[in-house]
Amino acid sequence: MGAKIIINKAGFHLFYLAAIIFLSGCHAYVLDDAQHDLRSSFISGDYQESSKLLQELEQKEIYKSKDAVLKNLEAGLIHHFAGNFDSSSIFFDNAEILIDDAYTKSISRGFKAMLVNDNTLVYDGEPYEDIYLNAFKSLNYVHQNDWEGALVETRRMAFKMEQLDIRLKGLAEAFAREDTTGRVKWESGKVNIQNSAFSHYLAAILYAKTGKPDDSRIEFEKLAIALREQEKINKRSPAKITDLEKIRNPHSYNVLITAFSGQAPIKKQEDFRLWLNGENDNSFYVKFSLSKIDLYRSRVQNIRIVNDSLQRSDLELIEEMDVVSAEVYKAKIPIIYTRSLLRATIKATGSSYLASSVRDKNKGMGLLVDVLGILGQESSEKADLRGWQTMPGKAWMNVINLPTGINEIEIQYLSASGSILYSEKRTIEITEQTKLGLIESIYSY
């Protein structure tokens, strides 16, 4: 009788813990939906509405403190395209500081993630998100005519890109140090890019315009290297360096046009379920969820600008941010997979051990614990699909020379067949003092 009471207590507590874990797993799905809604709102181009939606999600505590990096990244970009450059830089600053803080914490926070899943952890930003936030910060500074500030951001971007490979290897080494199970080998993939064409393109222009031709030349040479690196991983050919020579001559242009197309890569969940044979004819259930990254297929194949006098020129595809992001993510995949596998194995082994102990005393109760174990794994095992939803997919740039006065520029987003998918007109005032005007545009489809 006494034994029966103990088993009932154990069953009750297991059920209770499973319920709590199940409920905690729910939030991750709510956040996934919120991310989807925010992406849809942003691509519609109504940035006031997107800003409102983000505030609502924050008020409803869907973005919790652990998701602060995400919230700041989204707010940074929404404010950037809404023209609130000061606010945008503040949000991106916050995101950058939080990423820095979270990175060092992330290594020694394994235990909590082993109990539930990565969604319960502080989101420390993907390495590519950490890099591209500086791209938009640098544009914020250019909009505000603070070129020194913009150059600080391009330098940060270049530094982070150069450090990527070392950083991912460092992450794998740190996890290996923390992992006391000794069951798995921690390693990262190789990152095949070390230069950002976007940062070097912008820096070459800014140095040229600030009377530092030598620095501009160095940035231009790095741009050539970056384009060669990207050519190896890109889906299509990036700009040819010979077509970009113009940026080194600061007197040949007074306006920089930057356009963004497409969307950030989409993280998706892949579930794997296995029945494995353990000791004493006991089979146990393992579920693990992995996140994979899918590229958004933009219909935009070319971007053209048409000025007042109907002169046309194409923008150059400078950086396929989405492809670079996928490449960087690919290098992190071995770490993500190892973590998921290790977590699933620990959970499955734990629940199987518990079920077998209970089964020895009460077969029926053992079966119940088995079922609870499966339910617990099903509800708690979820891939971390958090990511910067509003980040654009591709960056296109070019420089042009406009006459003094008010100029109207039409930016046309073209399909593979050359038909106009979307166009928008922008006006810019050029005075004798204008050294570098910036026109920015985005079409997310």
Partner 1 sequence: MKYAILSTLLFGLLISGCRPTNKINRINPSETTDLSGRWNDTDARMVSEEMISDALTKPWLNQHNRQHQQSPVVIVGNVRNESMEHIDTEVITKEMERAFVNSGSVNVVASSDERQDIRQERLEQQEFASLETMKEMARELGADFMLIGNISSVVDETPDRRTLAVFYTVNLELVNVETNQKVWIGNKKIKKLIERRNYRG
Which of 26, 30, 83, 159 forms a contact with partner 1 (CB under 8 A)? 159
Which of 45, 149, 213, 350 forms a contact with partner 1 (CB under 8 A)? 149
Provide the 3-class DSSP secondary structure of residue 267: strand
Question: Residue 148, by phi and psi: left (phi above 0), alpha (psi -120 to 50) or beta?
Answer: alpha
Burial class (CB in 10 A: 0-12, 13-18, 19+), 23: exposed
Of 37-45, 169-177, 303-311, 390-398, which part binds partner 1 (CB under 8 A)?
169-177
Cα dihedral 54, 57, 63, 68 sign: positive
- For residue 215, the minimal CB distance to partner 1 (Å) is 9
Does position 169 bind partner 1 by CB under 8 A?
yes
Q: Where are the alpha helices (DSSP H) in 286-417?
A: 321-361, 363-380
Q: Which is nearer to partner 1, 6 or 420 (CB)?
A: 6
Q: Which is nearer to partner 1, 163 or 356 (CB)?
A: 163
Q: CA torsion, points 100, 105, 110, 112, in degrees to nearest 10?
A: -110
Q: Which of residues 59-98 bind partner 1 (CB under 8 A)?
A: 97
Closest among 354, 392, 386, 399 to 372, alpha carbons compared: 354
Q: Which is nearer to partner 1, 9 or 228 (CB)?
A: 9
Q: Which is nearer to partner 1, 114 or 241 (CB)?
A: 114
Residue matched to tokens 């029926």: 364
Residue 255 near residue 430 (C-beta atoms within 8 A): yes
Beta bridge partners of 268: 292
Of 55-63, 149-157, 179-187, 218-226, which part binds partner 1 (CB under 8 A)?
149-157
Does position 408 bind partner 1 by CB under 8 A?
no
Q: Which of residues 105-134 bind partner 1 (CB under 8 A)?
A: 105, 107-109, 111-112, 115, 120
Interface map 10-49 toward partner 1 (x if CB under 8 A)? --xx--xx--x---x-------------------------
Which of 94, 144, 163, 282 forms a contact with partner 1 (CB under 8 A)? 163
- For residue 154, the minimal CB distance to partner 1 (Å) is 10
Q: Which is nearer to partner 1, 171 or 197 (CB)?
A: 171
Residue 227 near residue 200 (C-beta atoms within 8 A): no
What radius of gyration do the chain's Cα atoms show? 26
d(CA 159, CA 163): 6
Helical pair 47-59 and 68-81, crossing angle rounded to 10 deg: 160
Provide the 3-class DSSP secondary structure of residue 333: helix
Does position 174 bind partner 1 by CB under 8 A?
yes
Of 50-58, 104-112, 284-292, 356-364, which part binds partner 1 (CB under 8 A)?
104-112
Q: CA torsion, points 82, 310, 261, 435, in degrees to nearest 10?
A: -60
**# residues contacting partner 1 (CB under 8 A):** 35
Interface map 292-311 toward partner 1 (x if CB under 8 A)? --------------------
Which of 45, 170, 213, 350 forms a contact with partner 1 (CB under 8 A)? 170
Give me the amino acid identity at 286. Answer: V
Which of 46, 61, 86, 100 forms a contact with partner 1 (CB under 8 A)? 100
Structure tokens that stand for 232 in this block = 């190896």
Helices (H) and strands (E) counted in the chain, each on its own, are 11, 10
Does position 152 bind partner 1 by CB under 8 A?
yes
Q: Which is nearer to partner 1, 98 or 402 (CB)?
A: 98
Q: Which is nearer to partner 1, 107 or 233 (CB)?
A: 107
Q: Where are the alpha helices (DSSP H) in 44-126?
A: 47-59, 68-81, 85-106, 110-115
Which of 1, 2, 148, 419 forms a contact with partner 1 (CB under 8 A)? 148
Does position 179 bind partner 1 by CB under 8 A?
no
Q: CA torsion, points 244, 246, 250, 251, in degrees to nearest 10?
A: -160
Which stretches of the chain bind partner 1, using CB under 8 A? 9, 12-13, 16-17, 20, 24, 97, 100-101, 103-105, 107-109, 111-112, 115, 120, 148-149, 151-152, 155-156, 159, 163, 166-167, 169-171, 173-174
